[in-house]
Amino acid sequence: MGLILTLNAGSSSLKFGLYGAQPEPDLIVTGQVEKLGLAARLVIDGGPQTELGPTDHAQALSQIMAALAPYLDGEIVAGIGHRIVHGGVAHSAPVTLDEDAIAKLRALIPLAPLHQPHNLACVAAARAMFPAAPQVGCFDTAFHRTHPWVNDTFALPREFYDMGVRRYGFHGLSYDYITGVLHRDYPELVLGKVAVAHLGNGASICAVRNGQSVASTMGFSALDGLPMGTRSGQLDPGVVLYLMTEHGMSAEQITELLYRKSGLLGLSGVTSDMRTLEASNDPRAAQAIDYYVFRIQREIGAMAASMGGLDGVVFTGGIGENSSYIRGRVTEALGFLGVTVNTGRNAANETEIGAGATRVLIIPTDEERIIARAVARAVV
Ligand code: ADP
């Protein structure tokens, strides 16, 4: 019945995955084109790297398909799944990307100007290359459409809500995947109250009650909530007004500041990379980690309050899955919520690391698999 291709397009990279289609998508190979623009490079995970030179999304896709030829094994690509950052208020599930759906997603570009255009450029390239194959859009916002109104709105005049100024929440593909694992392996827990902490270069926490998102730390944009590699996280909006009025900063300069120069990088002045920060002797690196840990503790508390309790905490993402140091630091102040870890199991990155009344789990995320599953459903 053919294979499934997943595509995750950013401003400077195009990640891909090739899967067998049925019954559960079966991973064949992943990789990415990095440094899109002037000096791109194609990397097949565990395989060769190829320097590509100047490359846009469409050229990157051609190069990817050429490199995947040996993996196709005579099969065709039957369906393509795209990670799309913003689905707006309309999409609580994946959608087949026809002209009408794409036009609606294009209208959301102002809500996610740094991501949505790249996602849609990739959709256009894939439709041109595979005109007969279904293209499926999977949204980072979709999992959060279950938020109650109080977690969906800001306290602005009502017309702003109606014009789309809402707390959308992001990282939904990751939370969808984690919730699926909870359904399969921890059926009693998924019926309870779980704070899922996705800690990667981007970072957020989602309150999952009875398998549904009821609150998340990210809001209108992927800037809110936790500090991240280079993003500020929660910020008093008065700071933005002050920078504009007193320092004459433009929207572009503030965008650059908040998305690319803040967070762990801005606080440490050293790097956005947690592994490097943990190894650093620079006191600013230690302070950046202190701030990061404190904000995670604070937001886990907020998520517990938003659910009326806490039965479990799940760590995922590059930092959540791999850093026993950060997990240890975060949990050492959460004993009052029943959250403590067994030092040995935490150090060994075991799945169950809790030592108190509240379950504490490490579950590796797999956002691409959520996309591949949506395509598998569309191509049957
Ligand atoms: P992305 O959000 O781009 O997918 P990842 O989920 O891969 O990013 O997370 C990247 C982060 O995970 C980096 O800050 C990296 O240093 C951190 N990380 C990965 N492995 C470890 C580790 N063993 N210890 C501490 N941090 C780690």
pLDDT in tens, 302-351: 999 999 999 999 999 999 999 999 999 999 999 999 999 999 999 999 99
- Report how far ligand 1's centroid is from the alpha carbon of 4 (Å): 27
Token readout for 345 is 């199991």
3-state SS assignment for residue 150: helix
Q: Rounded to 5, what percent of the chain is helix, strand, coil? A: 45, 20, 35
Distance CA 324, CA 318 (A): 11
On whether the CB atoms of residues 233 and 227 are closer than 8 A, the answer is yes
**Candidates 45, 56, 140, 366; catalytic one:** 140
Inter-helix orientation angle 116-129/99-106, to 10°: 160
- Which residues sit with their C-beta closer than 6 Å to ligand 1? 200-202, 229, 273-275, 278, 317-319, 322-323
Distance CA 76, CA 23 (A): 17
Closest CA to 328 of 313, 344, 346: 346
Confidence of residue 177 (pLDDT cuts 50, 70, 90): very high
- Report how far ligand 1's centroid is from the alpha carbon of 355 (Å): 25
Give the model's pLDDT for residue 10: 85
Distance CA 95, CA 36 (A): 27
Give the model's pLDDT for residue 1: 74
Residue 38 confidence (pLDDT) above 90: no
Confidence of residue 11 (pLDDT cuts 50, 70, 90): confident
Give the model's pLDDT for residue 32: 96
The number of helix segments (H) and strand segments (E) in the chain equals: 15, 13
On whether the CB atoms of residues 206 and 144 are closer than 8 A, the answer is yes
Strand order in the sheet with 359-362: 212-216, 203-209, 193-199, 312-316, 359-362
70-79 pLDDT, tens digit per residue, is 999 889 999 9
On whether the CB atoms of residues 303 and 295 are closer than 8 A, the answer is no
Decide if 140 is catalytic.
yes
Closest CA to 9 of 122, 170, 96: 122
Residue 22 confidence (pLDDT) above 80: no
Confidence of residue 380 (pLDDT cuts 50, 70, 90): confident
On whether the CB atoms of residues 14 and 32 are closer than 8 A, the answer is yes
Q: For ligand 1, what atom is nearest to the CA of residue 276?
A: 16
Q: For ligand 1, what atom is nearest to the CA of residue 319?
A: 12
140-152 pLDDT, tens digit per residue, is 999 999 999 999 9
Q: For ligand 1, what atom is nearest to the CA of residue 317?
A: 6
The pLDDT > 90 percentage for the chain reads 95
Domains of the chain: 3-139 (3.30.420.40), 187-362 (3.30.420.40)
Distance CA 167, CA 220 (A): 5
Confidence of residue 97 (pLDDT cuts 50, 70, 90): very high
Distance CA 53, CA 189 (A): 49
